[in-house]
Amino acid sequence: MLRVSLILYLVAGLCGSSVRAAPTSTLTLAQAKKLVDKLARRTARLRQLRLRRRIAIGLDDHADLLRKLRARLDESPTATELAADEAVLKRLGLLDERQRYRDVLLKVLGEQVVGRYDVKEQRLYLSRQMPKASRRAALVHEICHALQAQNLRLKRFSRKMPQNSDRRLARMALVEGDCTGLVLEDALRGSGVDLGSAGVMVRAILAKGWFRSSPALKKAPLVVRRTLTFPYEAGLRLVQRIRRRGSWRRVNRYFRRPLETTEQILHAEKLRRRERPISVRARQLPALGSWRAIKIDTFGELLLSVLLERHLDREIAARAAAGWGGDRLVAYAAPNVKGLRPLVIHLTTWDTSADAQEFHYALLRWAKARFGVPLEAATTAAKLQRFQMGATKQALIERHRRHVLLIVGSPAALSVTLRTQIWARWKISGRKVSAPAVE
């Protein structure tokens, strides 16, 4: 698992200087082993985990780390998954047409990479050019991952979840929040303050933002900024709340019973209740014939708020995405056609009818900003509206009970047929939803 220590952005923000500008000295393998051995024992005691074996070390030049990162992004099936992600993000307007998703990720991740803990190899790889000022923070962070691997089955958290981005983000928030919080508690050593009592400090740190030392992250699309920093920022808030109620051993309980949704991270009461997502299951649609699914995913509350924020105020987007119950996204590619944007179908279900109505209203505002005036008359009673996309494509938005359907990029002649088949064939909580009459 590739690991980028974004905690360095925090350290740089507190110091008021760029990590890249920090003085460096070449780190030898002997020095690295001595540093890691010494810090590993202290870090294990602080984190209340056993150091079951010596942490294996590897050293790379910065260029080697970048080369391995590039190779990982280019290998199959990662490259295929990135291409599908790019197509969906562009169809939804989350990525500009001229941007390549792989290149954006490579630029951001490669800008400040100083180390990674490889879960499969159980080895910590460090850059020989690791800045002195941030060396301890980086090492504590990566040693924390090694301790997670030795004690908390980290491998289970590092598995790919190509059909559930929401669950992946939620679980990574626990993993990264744990180690980010540990770095902060290590920095507070001797002050009489631990992470649990540092709530004011955590809020102040996060309010400063983590982007000042990363020009590439500043320039990255909103969806990239949010998804890369969410595990660290929201994860830190999560772990600080857990530590406020107990020791680090209390954090371990969440590794034994992993989180399921970003909703649980964003809302403490949802986590306390362990509110589970509502199942939304896609089914084959006869109207699409030989079209093939290239992407199946669950967006969750975080990504839905990011989608809306592309054209709406951040607070409005966050409120509209709250109350999320479950969702399913499927992107289809037309047969025998390459290079065209996919047809995206996204069905959400909400905790209450009021939540569905609020999201539906926000989604209509998003669609109007993206596609223009709807084809149907805009009235408060209208639950289905279509938008023209160029000469031959349409978008469709419809609310039915506690559910909201979004179709983007459908051939104009198919849009109404598709919505009828989706309502009739897709299942929510294991049941089909009767198709509403077209108003």
Q: Pick 214 or 184 by higher pLDDT.
A: 184
Confidence tier at 213 by pLDDT (50, 70, 90): low
pLDDT on residue 210 = 59
Kindly list the strands in the beta sheet with 431-432, ordered across the sheet, starting from the edge strand earlier in the chain: 280-281, 427-428, 431-432
The letter for the amino acid at 55 is I
Reported as a single tens digit per residue, the pLDDT across 250-259 is 999 999 999 9
pLDDT on residue 438 = 67
pLDDT at 439 over 60: no
pLDDT on residue 180 = 95
* Domains detected in the chain: 7-273 (no CATH), 280-432 (3.40.1000)
Reported as a single tens digit per residue, the pLDDT across 334-378 is 998 777 799 999 999 999 999 999 999 999 999 999 999 998 765
Q: Which two tokens stand for residue 19?
A: 């990590």
CB atoms < 10 A from the CB of 299, how many? 24
Q: Do 86 and 78 touch, CB atoms closer than 8 A?
A: no
Reported as a single tens digit per residue, the pLDDT across 55-91 is 999 998 888 888 888 888 888 678 889 999 999 999 9
Q: State which of 5-19, 144-158, 210-224 shows the largest mean pLDDT.
A: 144-158
